[in-house]
Structure 1
Amino acid sequence: MKIPSMNENPVTFPDYQNCIVNLTSSILASFNVNIDHPPLKQLDYKNFGQNVVLIILDGFGINLLKKYKTDATSFFAEHYKDQITSVFPPTTAAAITSFITAKTPYEHGSVGWTMFFKEYAKYIDFLPIWDSTTTTTLDNEKFKVHEILGDNNIFDMIHKQDPKIDLFNITIKSIAESANVIKSSGPAKIVPHESSKEFCERIEEAVKNDPENRKFIYAYSSDPDHLEHIHGINSDQVKSFLAEINSEIQNLTERLQGTDTTILITADHGLLDINKYYYTNEDKELFDSMILPGFPEPRFISFFVKSNKIEQFKRASRKYEEDFLIMTRKEFWQKNLFGSGKPHRKLDDFIGDFVFIAKTDKAIKPIYEQNGKWKTEFKAHHAGITAAEMLVPLIEINT
């Protein structure tokens, strides 16, 4: 299928009939697991190979595939099937949790990187279990946030349906022993990697191990997201990584010929370069009306506002209307941006009186006074509602 053209930053909402949740649902259906959300219409899941490999390249939005389709991502472009959406917010904490659980953010409750957990009176970065104000790692035996958010993982679901299926979670070495990865892997074998070459070697080893057994292999790379944050989406570093992983996966595909393997490649979200950061503490009228620092993301921020200063907050908000979709709590829930299903009990704790959702190249965040501003802000970010952040490729390769 032809890769679609993109306008600069058009507002794009999640499509919960054509998103990453539906991709995971397709995989589950291929293993005869009952699913809560429909499979993707673009995929013939009943005819997937004996082995199914899901490769997630963090931050590999459709914008990057389009930009480099004739060179750095040419192999990916050759096997491009369609574009799908991320979930809302299009950010790793929400999207990866959706991949792992086959649930919408409405169901699993992980709606961003930083969330205030009243149980611990603390802002916690959910995936790494960091204290958000100090960036120190918390004791996961005391701060059991992964027992509060999330849901059953797809590895458990597949294993319950057929214990004979071999399961692998191939992930970056720095998080392979984290509480989040261990909990979300269930019966899957956790396999660390440190490079694009090793990433593909670990996939090959998993596919060829006990060739008679059927397998599901979940393989995650933290790049290009990490490189985009630091260097920007148009940087040489990002292009170099894409060329490298494009080549490595092409070689991997050749080595897997005859193994009856379906490889699905996508991303959790895309990114776009940030032109300006606003800081809530520097807007005296806005800051004075707030009860708590806003969270969970610089491009999707929830505000809890003093009841006697609602009008003051509204006045202060007007200057941001060009760059952010500003909604009351009621308006936000009416949009169903988190998707459908059984609502997670924590959602009410995370959505305040107003939300800002970025629709241009701006971001807004609090400053913790004891820390001050970051010396260098991220050059690119995600979690807003632009096409660059929301649209990701669906790539299918059969060997």
Structure 2
Amino acid sequence: MYLPNYENGSIVNLMSSISGAFGTRLRYKPLKILNPSELKSKNIVLFVIDGLGYEYLMNYEKDNILKQNLKGRMTSVFPATTGAAIPTFLTGVPVQQHAITGWFVYLKELGLVSTILHFIARSGSEPLSMIGINPKKIFTQKSFFDKIKVKSYFIQDNTIAYSDFSLLHKGKAKVLSFKPASLNSFFRQIKKAIKSSNRRKYIYAYWPDFDTICHIYGTKSLKTKKHFSEINKKLESFIKSIKKTDTTLIVTSDHGFIDSDKSKLIDLAKHPKLSDAMIIPLCGERRLAYCYVRPSKTKQFENYVRKNLKHACYLYKSNDLIKKNYFGLFKPNKKLFDRVGDYILIMKENYVIMDFLLGEERGFHIGNHGGVSKQEMHVPLVIIKK
């Protein structure tokens, strides 16, 4: 089991290194392998490739610009997933403080399970803001862009750049959107931000497609390898185009991936005694589930997991993992206790657990994340200076 190193070795600490470079000291220590004094460039660019694990990069057969400039390895946060880690990049703190616990999050204040980054109900498609819900009441952590005193840019594809989640977390940063699935458009916007002025600036740039391809086809697929090769090729051209701009490019990821298959699927519909003990649908991730259990059926729940699922998952009481600092250090956000359920199932090996609501498509992802394998938890730190 691989857990985050919040002391000095996680993406949380990376954000403290970046903030320190701009004169702002955050509560979490800077990254041990990246002192803020190393980030003196006029332009600091954080390039997040969603889903690019350290293990994937190290095992990739061909030499590439990312591996050539690899500075080291970091951990993600707990859980190691987009829903928890992207908010860390955008706030500078882990789940312990921002309380965005995964893809599906139970919102006690609304009485529903949400797809939190889309700010919709799990069973819906309309943004919660359209029915009068203020995102500020749900997302309570201050934006990282507002914690640093420097001109900032926020670069995402135009399908998500202006979402409720993005607009709230961009803070004072200027939004630059790019055409979906276009690396040319993506790097063009980064270059535009770099050359926008002679002032010092921070640029956050997020590329989602590697994650999407890994989910559908898995990490070993030709499609995934082809896309990774394309990222490296376009990155090389981009690096040449920003020579002498006094830029430091930091490349990392929110999590890595582990491949699975349907023989490793725990479908809740096939475990009615387990489902019967729960009050609401599973929350969190396919590799790490938050379970809300009826008080009268806690023994039934515990006994069933220990007897029938011990080969597939670890069973923990949620509050115990908060106390053990799995989600981060220091005082937890009060909302965190409502958003992690009564029990947490952490999947072993490459098992996944899923349930399906009425009307929900019964899809299956080959590539998955959110667990505690080294493939999911470890992410690269790449530094390129121009």
Equivalent in the alignment of 1:305: 293
Quote the residue 1:238 is aligned against.
Answer: 224
**Is 1:384 aligned with 2:375?**
no
Q: Structure 1: any 5+ residue segments left out of the alignment?
A: 1-10
Structure 2 residues without counterparts, runs of 5 or longer: none
Matches within 5 A, 1:13-52: 13-16=3-6, 17-48=8-39, 49-52=41-44
Deviation digits for residues 22-64 of structure 1 (CA, Å, limit 9, x no counterpart): 1111110000012111111211321321110000000011122
Please tell me the residue identity of whatever aligns with 1:247.
Answer: K
Counterpart code for 1:24: M
Assess if the C-alpha contact under 8 Å between 2:291 and 2:343 holds in 1: yes
Q: Which runs of 4+ in 1 moved over 4 A?
A: none
Match of 1:151? 141
Deviation, structure 1 residue 260: 1.0
Task: Output the CA distance in 2 between the equivalents of 1:44 and 1:332.
Answer: 30
Is residue 135–residue 168 contact of structure 2 (8 Å, CA) maintained in 1? no
Q: d(CA) in 1 for partners of 2:376 and 2:302?
A: 27
Quick one: distance in 1 between partners of 2:147 and 2:309? 44
Cα distance, 1:344 vs structure 2: 0.8
In 2, Cα distance between equivalents of 1:144 and 1:114: 19
Corresponding position: 1:186 with 2:175 = no
Deviation at 1:359, TM superposition (A): 2.5
The alpha-carbon deviation at position 69 of structure 1 amounts to 5.0
C-alpha distance in structure 2 between counterparts of 1:198 and 1:179, whole Å: 23
2:195 pairs with 1:208: yes
1:116 counterpart = 2:143: no
Q: Which residue of 2 aligns with 1:3?
A: none
Q: In structure 2, what is the Cα distance between the partners aligned to 1:393 and 1:31?
A: 23
Task: Quote the offset at 1:145 in angstroms.
Answer: 4.2
The answer to which of 19-28 and 133-142 deviates more is: 133-142
Residue 360 (1) aligns with residue 349 (2): yes
Give the Å deviation of 1:189.
1.0
The alpha carbon displacement at 1:244 in A equals 0.9
TM-score (norm 1): 0.91
Give the structure 1 partner of residue 120 of structure 2. Answer: 130
1:229–1:379 CA contact under 8 A, matched in 2? yes
Letter in 1 for 2:379: V
Identity of aligned residues (%): 31
> Separation in 2 of the partners of 1:12 and 1:47?
28
* Aligned partner of residue 289 in structure 2, secondary structure: strand
Per-residue deviation, residues 350-385 of structure 1 (Å, max 9, x unmatched):
2222210113111112221x225x343111111111
Name whichever of 133-142 and 167-176 sits farther off: 133-142
- Pairwise CA distance, 1:146: 4.6
Post-superposition CA distance 1:242-300 (Å, at most 9, x none): 11111111111111111111100000001111222212232121112222222121211
Q: CA RMSD in A?
A: 1.6
The total of aligned residue pairs comes to 379
SS at match of 1:383: coil
1:64 to 56, 77, 81: 56
Task: Tell me which of 305, 311, 318 is aligned to 1:329.
Answer: 318
**Mean alpha-carbon deviation: is it higher for 300-309 or for 87-96?**
300-309
Contact 2:129 2:135 in 1 (8 A): no
Q: Does residue 1:93 correspond to 2:83, yes or no?
A: yes
